[in-house]
Amino acid sequence: MRRPVRIALLLACLASLALAASARAATLVPVGSFDAPTFVTSDPSDPDRLLVVEREGRVVLAVGTTRTLLADLEAWVQCCEGERGLLSIAPAADFATSGRFYAAYTGNVAAGGAIGDIHVDAFTVVQGGGPVPLREPLLTIPHSTRASHNGGQLQLGRDGYLYLSTGDGGGVGDPDENAQDPASMLGKIVRIDPPAGGASAQVWASGLRNPWRFSFDRLTGTMAIADVGQDLREEIDIGAQGANYGWNCREGFIPYPGAPVSCDGLVGFTEPVFDYPHESPDGGVDRCSITGGYVVRDLGLEDLYGRYLYADFCAGELRSLVLPGSPGGLATGDRSEGLFVSKPVSFGEDSCGRIYVVAQGGAVYRLQGDLGGGCFLAPPARPPAVVVTPVPRPRPLVILQARKRGRHTVKLIVRLLPCADRGGELVYLNRNGRLFRQKRLDRRCVARFRIRVRGRTRFRAFFEDQRSQVRTIAFAKPRP
């Protein structure tokens, strides 16, 4: 064999060994098996006290191989139709002494509201008082129509606020157009002031389909949102106050093919930093639903440090990439980590920054690197500057009122507030998602429509830069 050939073969062998070593740099270490787990976190003061969330309404304390039912919320949790159940929890900073944590779940009648509504409550585990904690309701968001697209991530930000992700309410293409409705808390990132309770809840970002998981980078404070797509694309967004990520007008970087007429001409959406198609690039298992993870800050995972880890529920492959620091940039370096988990439901992070993966079948794993599984605390960092996405033009309030007039006639009144000399502008009226009529505002920015209605009919008024909430009109069927 010639010398150059032998050298080439040697280099190829060394390269393959290096790739194999890189693939082995992170391994999945079993933590244990649980009953339909949906999320995992830890006591903020003790990373070895893991808190595993079980879908039916239980929070299990796992210390080594010991399992203890810490909190039982089954009396309030509606499970398990569609995607309903106990979705995630966020322990308070003083959890070790107060026993206080926050929970996001779909509720039953005992929780208040309708079956399936999204609830955010504070719970306090009373030492010696049994597993049923004290409950303090904070926020209820109507979500009873469909059992899907609940969102469900709950995280405490470094600013002390509680952040919640909500889905658009379910259905193909957001039929109720909640994600783009500023009056709805569905399809949003919602910010809550825990001491003040639900009265202080506000929409922080909008235009999301089903942001099942988001996370904060423990070093920089940057929010990464993994938004589950419809039929074509899965996307990752960088969180920014005031951002509108475009659903149901856009899906990933492309226009959504089933977008309603009300999306025509709307601009100013915040683009994702990464998206991927459902079709497998190598002819393998097709992708279907992104499972968002964390920016790795475990110093034991050297090759993953600083990279955002994510997976797809159908493909099961763990992948990572490098996120930009703010919206407007693009993620880089997307790659496979050579690790697979069957149907990854969620990722988790303990108070040391160690990363966990939750499988639908019940298994929970911890990612461990060559340096072992010790506790690697990230250095302290200043709270990030608030990033505000500029809004192209002011977005006034559009009010749509409906008054029944006669047996099958309804009078719709559209008002634009503040008027600001916008009298004479065209207002468009959608009927069941399709353009129906148009009319010019009078000098007081009011337009009136008189319409005959049979059966259940949805109306929405919209302008170029704003839309009203949906109004549903239904007349009783005449008796035979």
459: CATH:
2.60.40.10
pLDDT per residue as tens digits for the range 174-204: 999 999 999 999 999 999 998 766 668 999 9
- Pair 210, 269 in one domain: yes
| Whether residue 437 sits in one domain with residue 328 | no
CA distances from 465 to 263, 392, 416, 428, 444 (A): 10, 9, 12, 12, 18
Does 3 have pLDDT greater than 80? no
Q: Across residues 401-406, what is the average pLDDT?
A: 81
Domain for residue 290, yes or no?
yes
C-alpha–C-alpha distance, residues 92 and 98, integer Å: 8
User: Taking 60 as the threshold, does the pLDDT of residue 435 lie above it?
Assistant: yes
**Is residue 409 located within the same domain as residue 458?**
yes
207 with 348, same domain? yes
pLDDT at residue 232 above 70?
yes
Could you report the per-residue pLDDT of 111-160, keeping only the tens digit for each? 999 999 999 999 999 988 899 999 999 999 999 999 999 999 999 999 99
pLDDT of residue 377: 59
Q: Are 101 and 59 in contact (CB under 8 A)?
A: yes
> Could you say which of 315, 349, 369 is where a domain stops?
369
**Is 347:355 a contact under the CB 8 Å cutoff?**
yes
Give the residue among 476, 398, 403, 405 at the shortest CA–CA distance from 430.
398
Q: What is the pLDDT of residue 375?
A: 66
Please state, rounded to an integer, the average pLDDT across all residues of the chain.
Answer: 87
Q: Does residue 13 lie in a domain region? A: no
User: Is the same domain home to 164 and 40?
Assistant: yes
Question: In total, how many domains does the chain have?
Answer: 2
How deeply is 221 buried, as exposed, middle or buried, from its count of CB atoms within 10 A (0-12, 13-18, 19+)? middle
Q: Which of 155, 153, 167, 164 is nearest to 87 (CA)?
A: 153
Write the DSSP assignment of 363-393 as a string of letters. EEEEEEETTBS---PPPP-PPPPPPBPPPSS
413 and 342, same structural domain? no
Which domain covers residue 332, as residue numbers? 26-369
The predicted structure's pLDDT at residue 376: 57
CA 73 to CA 133: how far, in whole Å? 8
71 within some domain: yes
Residue 435: half-sphere exposure toward Cβ, Cα within 13 Å: 12
- 343-346, Cβ contacts within 8 angstroms, sequence gap of 24 or more: 343/313, 343/314, 343/316, 344/291, 344/311, 344/312, 344/313, 344/316, 344/318, 345/37, 345/38, 345/291, 345/313, 346/37, 346/38, 346/39, 346/40, 346/88, 346/212, 346/213, 346/291
Q: Are 358 and 410 part of one and the same domain?
A: no
pLDDT of residue 197: 60
Q: Which of 349, 369, 389 is the last residue of a domain?
A: 369
pLDDT at 370 over 90: no
In a domain, 480, yes or no: no
Asked if 39 and 155 sit in the same domain, the reply is yes
Q: Is 439 part of any domain?
A: yes
Both 433 and 328 in one domain: the answer is no
Whether residue 404 is predicted with pLDDT greater than 70 in this model: the reply is yes
Is 132 a domain residue? yes
CATH number at residue 136: 2.120.10.30
Task: For residue 265, name the pLDDT band (cuts at 50, 70, 90).
Answer: confident
Is-contact 235 403, C-beta < 8 A? no
> Are residues 179 and 64 part of one domain?
yes
pLDDT value of position 57: 98
pLDDT of residue 426: 85
- Is 12 domain-assigned? no
| 411 and 288 within one domain | no
pLDDT for position 79? 97
Joined together, the tokens standing for residue 308 give: 């955002």
Q: Examine the fold and report which residue of 351, 369, 387 is the final residue of a domain before the chain moves on.
A: 369
Q: What percent of the chain has pLDDT above 70?
A: 85
Kindly state whether residue 216 falls inside one of the protein's structural domains. Answer: yes
Q: What is the pTM of this model?
A: 0.77
Shared domain check, 212 and 256: yes
Q: How many separate helices (H) and strands (E) can be counted in the chain?
A: 2, 33
Task: List Cα–Cα distances, 305 to 38, 273, 300, 322, in angstroms.
Answer: 25, 19, 8, 10
